[in-house]
């Protein structure tokens, strides 16, 4: 999962596969003592290895969201990017 996918010219930096544009990814994040799963994340996804690539703006919103979720002190949280982008 790498931001700034535009620099890869439509190819995966990990395996060289072609990126499929306009996809929605499910991405897990491991924090100190919690796991946050973010669904419906806009991304380009590699056709071969399924690695998601997000834009810088999407990465910034998720970072902001994760900072807020750290205060919840839950072990596992599942959120939808499309729902939470309006609340952030």
Q: What is the pTM of this model?
A: 0.80
Query: For the chain, how many residues are written?
Result: 88
Give buried/exposed letters for 12-45 (b at 16+ CB in 10 A, else e): beeeebebeeeeebebebeeeebebebebbbbbb
**3-class secondary structure, 66:** helix
pLDDT score at 4: 47
- For residue range 70-84, what is the model confidence (pLDDT) as tens digits? 888 889 999 999 876
Q: Domains in the chain and their CATH numbers?
A: 5-87 (3.10.20.860)
Q: Please, what sign has the CA dihedral across residues 26, 71, 59, 11?
A: negative
- For residue range 5-53, what is the model confidence (pLDDT) as tens digits? 445 689 999 999 999 999 999 999 998 889 999 999 999 999 999 999 9
Question: Taking the mean position of all CA atoms in its chain, how far away is CA 82?
Answer: 12
Across the range 57-61, mean pLDDT stands at: 94
């Amino acid at each position: 999962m790498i931001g700034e996918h535009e620099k890869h010219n439509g190819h995966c930096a990990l395996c060289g596969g072609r990126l499929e544009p306009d996809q929605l990814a499910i991405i897990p994040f491991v924090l100190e003592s919690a796991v946050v799963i973010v669904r419906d994340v806009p991304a380009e996804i590699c056709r071969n290895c399924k690695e998601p690539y997000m834009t810088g703006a999407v990465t910034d919103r998720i970072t902001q969201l994760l900072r807020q979720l750290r205060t919840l002190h839950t072990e596992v949280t599942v959120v939808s990017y499309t729902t939470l982008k309006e609340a952030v």
